[in-house]
């Protein structure tokens, strides 16, 4: 059996005529602060956790335990430079780039029928 054939592949309208299901009163009432939290994918504030010192240490020592600090620092810099608030959110960016990738990839895969394999053995 190739996959679950008993499930209809379905889609649903992604809009609700009313705020039928809600999780907090702020959401029910459309409270701006609550919605800001609700609609924020990234609770984290990079500046709370990441600093240049750690990023530099990673670049110098290559200590893998510091990689997330370095990544966070990069994210912080992008944000500070208006990356996220300057027009396009990371989600929107990923939607566009993901769609593009998906279309290209899907077409290529359909054409070739080749499979991707993850790296099996590292040096």
Q: Please tell me the distance from the alpha carbon of residue 37 to that of residue 26, in angstroms, as a whole number.
A: 10
For position 14 contacting another protein by CB under 8 A, the verdict is yes
For position 61 contacting another protein by CB under 8 A, the verdict is no
Q: How far is the CB of 93 from another protein (least distance, A)?
A: 10
Helix H or strand E segment including 96: helix 90-112
For position 49 contacting another protein by CB under 8 A, the verdict is yes
Q: In a 3-state reduction of DSSP, which class is residue 77? A: helix
For position 8 contacting another protein by CB under 8 A, the verdict is yes
Could you tell me the CA-to-CA distances from 10 to 2, 6, 7, 13 in Å, in that order?
18, 12, 8, 10
Site residues, another protein (CB under 8 A): 1-4, 6-18, 20-28, 34, 37-41, 43-44, 49, 65, 67-68, 71, 90-91, 94, 98, 101-103, 105-106, 109-110, 113, 118-119
């Amino acid at each position: 059996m190739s996959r679950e054939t008993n499930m209809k592949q379905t889609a649903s309208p992604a809009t609700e005529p009313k705020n039928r299901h809600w999780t907090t009163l702020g959401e029910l009432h459309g409270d701006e602060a609550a919605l800001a939290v609700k609609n924020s994918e990234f609770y984290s504030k990079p500046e709370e956790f990441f600093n240049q010192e750690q990023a530099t240490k990673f670049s110098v020592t290559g200590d893998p335990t510091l990689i997330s600090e370095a990544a966070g620092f990069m994210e912080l810099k992008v944000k500070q430079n208006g990356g996220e608030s300057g027009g396009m959110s990371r989600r929107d960016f990923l939607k566009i780039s993901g769609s593009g990738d998906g279309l290209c990839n899907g077409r290529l895969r359909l054409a070739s029928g080749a499979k991707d394999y993850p790296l099996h053995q590292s040096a």
